[in-house]
A and B are shown apart, each in its own frame.
Chain A
Amino acid sequence: MLGVEDAVGGLPRTAAVRCSGVTVDFGSVLAVDDVNLTLPVGGIHALVGQNGAGKTTLARAIAGLQQHTSGTVQVNGVEVPPGANLVARRSGVDMVHQHPSLIPELTVAEALELGSPSPRRGPFLRGAIERRWSEFLESRGVDVDVRRRVKELSVELVQSVEIARANPGRGGLLLLDEPTAVLAPSRVEALFEQLRAMVATEVTILIVLHKLSEVRNIADTVTVLREGRLVLSPTPAAATTDAEVGAHIVGEDLADPSPRSRLRVVGSDDEVAIAASGIDAQAVAGESPLNNLSLDVARGEIVGVAGVEGNGQRTLVETLVGLRLPMSGAIRFLGVDCTTKSVEGRRAIGVRSVPFDRNAEGTAAELPLWQNVLGWEAQRFRRWDRLPFLSAAAMRRRATERLQRFHVAYADIDQPVASLSGGNTQRLILARELPDARALVVAQPTRGLDISGITGVWQALAELAASGVPILVVSSDLDELLEHSDRVDVIRGGTIVASHPRPFYRSAIGYDMVGAVGP
């Protein structure tokens, strides 16, 4: 099963990383697909690609944290046994994950002691571990009071402590998974300084990045993954242009892959049906805040919002839906000012939404189908107009009608939503949100769905748009946006940086997504 032995034996130690035919199969998804990758010793190597391109999985496989299905991985000439090292740190390789792993409740010294490969047995003196870790961090150029609790430190300080801890030392390999994602742009440079200092001590760094400006700033070579496959082997960063890399990231430059062949139903007065202007909003954790964001959607128009994850997509959707209020700016739906309206107030005028996560936000797993497909609208089904009693028969009738209309496959209207497949769950959400929608905000409509599920979702959205409803779709899947939108807005750093009409040019959009300048 593991094969490819001939590539292993007796090679000189010339490569920090050598992957041959590495595949990681998650059953339903091929996360990494036959990757052959060689990185030289020393230097900083960037790994880029769209969300879901397999960057993190590949990095984890190299670190020995992810079992690869086939192929071989060598680090500094030593083969990494597949999945042998689920937890413990190996000498010479370490990885810093996207999420901090230091325990917030402990002091820095305690947290480092706990995570060290050889924590002390028996009681320790506080001073002893504080001295130990204080010296350790000092030797690695991080200035922090180890007596402070981790939770009191800023994000960037926690990160630099984690990087210092993970530093494998001279000749080792360090993997970093999107370290800049959690940082304010002004703090990125400090991180890069830390990394450059490590490279000076002959550490090899493989860093997963999103922004091309950062790649250009820090990396010696750049490697691109798309849909699990290696599409650009390590290339000196200086030898490429942003446009080239951007094109590799998003795929072939096809002009208008499949023109959306239907007429736009535009209101008689060409009224702007969804309008946000100059929105500033506090960020959802881990995202850019919204920064003077403006966009508009006309009646019957489908506008896609493309962008690298974390650039304010969730904040945007939650602000439009009414889950959070903007600090400034105005939001209008169908000509009605909704800036300070609650979710319920917006729904009253016909604003509907499809949330990001169909299980965590879209449905209640244990409740039966009929309750989920009606949701809070169930309150409308009165038995007698003047009395507060709801009619079970009316509720069930309407629920059945909706489930059937949206082709949800089910056995019993009382079965819990948890028993549905992802595609059927998404259809159930559409069945709840679409029928009465006069304006629609959709987030990640097809994430994790199979091909028939995806087709069904877009068909329903297209029909709705054809009836004159404005639709805003936020998705991290650029392909589907290009295929189905009338227009694609690009969000970066919490603002819309460009609006592309048809025909679309992938590379232009890709370039806007990864952009040369921060917000």
Chain B
Amino acid sequence: MEEFIASTLRSSVPLALAGVGALFAVRAGIFHLGIEGLMLASAFTAVGVAHSTESIILAVLAALVVSAVLSTIYWFLLDHLHADAIIVGLGLTTLSVGGTAFFLDVIFGQRGRLDSPVGLPRPIRGADDGAASLVSELSILGWLTPLLVLASFMLLRRTAFGLRITAVGTYSYGARAAGIRESRVRLAAMLCTSVGSALAGVELALGGLSTFSEGITGGRGFIALAAALFGQLHPLATAAAAVFFGAANAIGVVTQVNSIDFVPRPFILMIPFIITIAAVTVSAIVRTQAQQRRMERLDAHEP
């Protein structure tokens, strides 16, 4: 059980960071399929810089910068060249897959993986007993995640900036009527997404084994997006969804170690995806019905 909780916490940190980041873009109306790519590029950058400078701070900063630059390119393609958000997102992911492997080889002469001499600090380290052992594996970013989620909530729901993002994504006419410059707001939202993705990538690479390996993200970027959607684009609910997906992943990890035979492991790992499909469907049905009710209510006013 302890093992399961510890594993859940570890797996949900990157999902929560990337998921909460993702909801900024999606709220601004951009269906962001490039999270995976941003995470991968950030993870690589962080390890690369850490490998060269042995400075964890520089590593994090570099990851943030790379992620922001890629996001700005994404934004430019969408807003100025009217490209398709989905294709560009997938392209960004492909580019990162190729780019990280390429630079890994070209700069570091490595194939497959690169180790970092430093990792993210772990505030409570090496505790073996009781409650502390659950969190002893947690990196500083893991500790900061709840704060970041809370900050995202404040940013989205308690500042004019956050309200603008929602306005731009949901009701363009109203946003323009309020004098909002939509393009800028979209850029800002995508930069928020880039921060979440970058931190998620850093956590993946430097939070545990301090290593970058090709394809280290393993689809987590897509799952993070699913968490944001599952969480109805609300930061706290998204974080909860991330924990849920993390728990599902942890079951996989734990069952792998202590083999459980009554249900094959892959079926357990499918659960979050199936639940996401169900959630999307249910919310679609609810939406249609609400619309119908609204029409009927409007009708009822007529004599």
Binding site for B on A (CB under 8 A): 87-88, 97, 99-106, 110-111, 113-115, 119-126, 154-155, 184-187, 282-283, 285, 288-289, 291, 494, 519
Q: Which residues of the partner chain A approach B171 to less than 8 Å between Cβ atoms?
A: 103-105
Whole-angstrom distance between the Cβ of B279 and the nearest chain A Cβ: 19
Across the two chains, which residue of chain B brings its CB closest to A122? Answer: B159
Q: Min CB distance, A519 to chain B, in Å?
A: 7
Judged by DSSP, the binding face of A is loop
Is B167 in the interface zone, CB < 8 Å from A? yes
Tell me the minimal C-beta distance from A115 to chain B in angstroms: 5
Q: Can you spell out 21 A-B residue pairs with CB atoms less than 8 angstroms apart? A: A99-B173, A101-B178, A102-B174, A103-B175, A104-B170, A104-B174, A105-B171, A113-B163, A114-B163, A114-B167, A115-B177, A120-B159, A124-B159, A125-B158, A126-B157, A154-B297, A186-B301, A186-B303, A283-B299, A283-B302, A288-B302
Instruction: State in angstroms the CA–CA spacing of A393 and B166 once bound together.
Output: 52
Q: Which residues of B contact A101 (CB under 8 A)?
A: 173-174, 177-178
Q: How far is the CB of B59 from chain A (nearest CB, A)?
A: 30
Contacts of A185 in B (CB 8 A): 302-303
Q: Which A residue's beta carbon lies closest to that of B154?
A: A123
B131 at the interface (CB under 8 A from A): no
Q: Is the CB of B154 within 8 A of A103?
A: no
Residues of chain A within 8 A (CB-CB) of B160 are: 113-114, 119-121, 124
In angstroms, how far is the closest chain B Cβ from the Cβ of A495? 11
**Does A124 lie within 8 Å of B303, measured CB to CB?**
no
Q: How far is the CB of A89 from chain B (nearest CB, A)?
A: 9
Write out the residue numbers on chain B whose beta carbons fall within 8 Å of the beta carbon of A125: 158
Contact B158 A289 (CB under 8 A): no
Contacts of A126 in B (CB 8 A): 157-158
Using A115-B177, A185-B302, A283-B299 as known contacts, list a sample of 14 further A-B pairs with CB atoms less than 8 Å apart, ordered by residue number in A.
A87-B179, A97-B177, A103-B171, A104-B171, A105-B170, A113-B163, A114-B167, A124-B158, A124-B160, A126-B157, A285-B295, A291-B302, A519-B302, A519-B303
The answer to whether B164 has its CB under 8 Å from any CB of chain A is yes
* Residue B263 is within 8 A (CB to CB) of chain A in the complex: no
Contact of B298 among A106, A122, A155 (CB under 8 A): A155
Say yes or no: A88 contacts B159, CB within 8 Å: no
Closest-CB distance, B164 to chain A (whole angstroms): 7
Closest to B295 in A: A282
> Bound complex: CA of A185 vs CA of B298, how far in Å?
12
- A103 — which chain B residues lie within 8 A by C-beta? 163, 166-167, 170-171, 174-175, 178
**A100 x B174 contact (CB < 8 A):** yes
CB neighbours (8 Å) of B178 from chain A are 87, 101, 103, 114-115
In chain B, what residue has the closest Cβ to A104? Answer: B171
Closest B residue to A129 by beta carbon equals B158
Distance between Cα atoms of A106 and B175 in the complex (Å): 12
Chain A residues whose C-beta falls within 8 Å of the C-beta of B157 in the assembled complex: 110, 126
Residues in A whose Cβ lies below 8 Å from that of B174: 100-104, 111
> Residues of A contacting B175 with CB < 8 Å?
103
**In the complex, chain A residues whose CB is within 8 Å of the CB of B301:** 184, 186-187
> What sequence of 0s and 1s flags, for each residue 261-303 of chain B, a beta carbon within 8 Å of any chain A beta carbon?
0000000000000000000000000000000000101110111
- Chain B residues lying within 8 Å of A184, measured Cβ to Cβ, are 298, 301-302
State the Cβ distance, B292 to closest chain A Cβ, in Å: 10
* Of B155, B166, B176, B297, the contact of A105 (CB 8 Å cutoff): B166
Q: Tell me the minimal C-beta distance from A284 to chain B in angstroms.
A: 10
Q: Which residue of B lies closest to A124 (CB)?
A: B158
Q: Specify which chain B residues have a CB less than 8 angstroms from the CB of A119 in the assembled complex.
A: 160, 163
Q: How far is the CA of A155 from the CA of B297 in the complex (A)?
A: 11
Shortest Cβ gap from B81 to chain A (Å): 18
Q: State in angstroms the CA–CA spacing of A186 and B301 once bound together.
A: 7
User: Could you mark each residue 91-126 of chain B with 1 if its beta carbon is under 8 Å from any beta carbon of chain A, else 0?
Assistant: 000000000000000000000000000000000000
The interface residues of chain B lying within 8 Å CB-to-CB of A97 are 177
- Residues of chain B lying within 8 A (CB to CB) of residue A187: 301
Closest-CB distance, A300 to chain B (whole angstroms)? 36
Query: B117-142: which have CB < 8 Å to A?
Result: none
Given A99-B173, A103-B170, verify A123-B159 contact (CB < 8 Å): yes
Q: Are A282 and B303 in contact (CB under 8 A)?
A: no
Specify which chain A residues have a CB less than 8 angstroms from the CB of B298 in the assembled complex: 155, 184, 283
- Please pick, from B154, B164, B176, B302, the residue contacting A114 in the complex, using a CB distance under 8 A: B164
**A283 to chain B: which residues have CB within 8 Å?**
295, 298-299, 302
Output the nearest chain B residue to A87 by Cβ-Cβ distance.
B179
**Nearest CB to that of B181 among chain A residues?**
A87
* Nearest Cβ on chain B to A179's Cβ, whole angstroms: 16
Bound CA span A110–B298, Å: 25
Most buried by A among B163, B173, B179, B303: B163
The distance from the CB of B9 to the nearest CB of chain A, in whole angstroms, is: 28
Separation of A81 and B142 alpha carbons in the complex (Å): 56
Inter-chain contacts of B179 with A (CB < 8 A): 87-88
A120 to B295, CA, bound (A): 36
CB closest chain-A residue, reference B300: A184
The 4 residue pairs across chains A and B that have the minimum distance between CB atoms: A184-B301, A101-B177, A87-B179, A119-B160
Contact residues in B for A122 (Cβ distance below 8 Å)? 159
Q: Bound state CA distance, A396 and B173, in angstroms?
A: 42
Q: Find chain A residues with CB under 8 A from B155 CB.
A: 123
> In whole angstroms, how far apart are the Cα atoms of A455 and B174 in the complex?
40
Q: How far is the CA of A105 from the CA of B160 in the complex (A)?
A: 14
Q: How far is the CB of B89 from chain A (nearest CB, A)?
A: 23
Q: Which of A113, A123, A282 contacts B299 (CB 8 A)?
A: A282
- Give the CA-CA distance A115 to B163 in the complex, in Å: 10
**For residue A288, which residue of chain B has the nearest CB?**
B302
Among residues of B, the one whose C-beta sits closest to the C-beta of A100 is: B174
Docked pose: A87 CA to B175 CA in angstroms: 11
Query: A106–B159 contact, CB under 8 A?
Result: no
Report the nearest A residue to B292, measured CB to CB.
A282
Which residues in B have their C-beta under 8 angstroms from that of A114?
160, 163-164, 167, 178
Q: Which residues of A contact B167 (CB under 8 A)?
A: 103, 105-106, 114
Closest chain B residue, CB of each to CB of A186: B301
Q: Are A106 and B299 in contact (CB-based, < 8 A)? A: no
Closest A residue by C-beta to B180: A114
By a CB distance below 8 angstroms, the chain B residues around A99 are: 173
0/1 string, B22-33, CB within 8 A of A gives 1: 000000000000
- Give the distance in Å from the alpha carbon of A103 to the alpha carbon of B179 in the complex: 13
Q: Name the distance in Å between A369's Cβ and chain B's nearest Cβ.
A: 25
Q: What is the bound-complex CA distance between A87 and B176, given in angstroms?
A: 8
Which chain A residues border B164 with CB–CB below 8 Å? Answer: 114
CA–CA, A32 and B158, complex, Å: 44
In the bound complex, residues from chain B placing their C-beta under 8 Å from that of A100 are: 174
Determine the residue in chain A with the shortest Cβ distance to B167: A103
Which chain B residues lie closer than 8 Å to A494 at the CB level? 302
CA distance A459 to B176 in the complex (A): 43
Roughly how many angstroms separate A154 CA and B299 CA in the complex, as a whole number?
12
- Closest Cβ–Cβ distance, residue A3 to chain B (whole Å): 30
B299 contact set on A, CB distance < 8 A = 282-283, 289
